[in-house]
A = this chain, B = another copy of it.
Amino acid sequence: MRILVIEDEPGIARFLKQGLEEEAYAVEVADNGLEGLARALEQAYDLLLVDWMLPGLSGLEVCRQLRAAQNHTPLLFLTAKDTVQDTIAGLQAGANDYIKKPFHFEELLERIRVQLRPAAGPPERFTVGPIALDVATHQVFRDDEEIALTQKEFALLEYLLRHKGNVCRRQSIIEQVWDIHFEYNTGVIDVYMNALRKKLRLSKDEDYLQTIRGIGYVARD
């Protein structure tokens, strides 16, 4: 997660940079509004931390111009002025939040997390070895190369990955993936496992989808 701090007071800037880096954010600092705006426009930051009072271009102006340029990076104001009017102006200009100085660093961290949370989202993604499956986008990758799977193949792989590490019995697979709840005597599962392994190019060495003879299958790293 990349954060750009636009702050002119070196002491505060250093304090923010160090504190945020300890939290594993990648932090860059711009010490005036003009430079900050330029950097924010040309690079893709995940969040901007902008001082309200800046030499050259004010924080409010930075925010306005950024939004005018269709850039919607989350933006938090650091403001010493705690009059209501100012904060309102900031929010109207398209800021996502503001925090009043002096602030507790913990509170700042929390507000940052809140802003970053929706962007991070909860993407349902499962993996085994080089295989990755994304439920939302209905995509499957092997080493970042997309593999086209049919619906049943996808459903089977998803089931195995959802239960990664646990052996999936044939009976359970037939019930959950094929929705067959009575006796069955078909070899469908084998056929699809075969197709999966082939499409995912899994060999004997890369047995991420193992056969448990007499029982079923497992996905294992």
Contacts and interface: CB of A to CB of B under 8 A. Distances in A.
Most buried by B among A91, A106, A213: A91
Contact of A137 (B111, B150, B167, B213): B167
Contacts of A151: 212-215
Contact of A123 (B72, B92, B167, B215): B72
A35 interface: no
Copies of this chain, complex-wide, total 2
Nearest to A106: B88
A110 B91 contact: yes
A120 interface: no
Given A166-B136, A167-B136, A123 B214 contact: no
Interface of A: 70, 72, 84, 87-88, 91-92, 94-97, 104, 106-107, 110-111, 113-114, 118, 122-123, 136-138, 150-151, 165-167, 212-215, 218
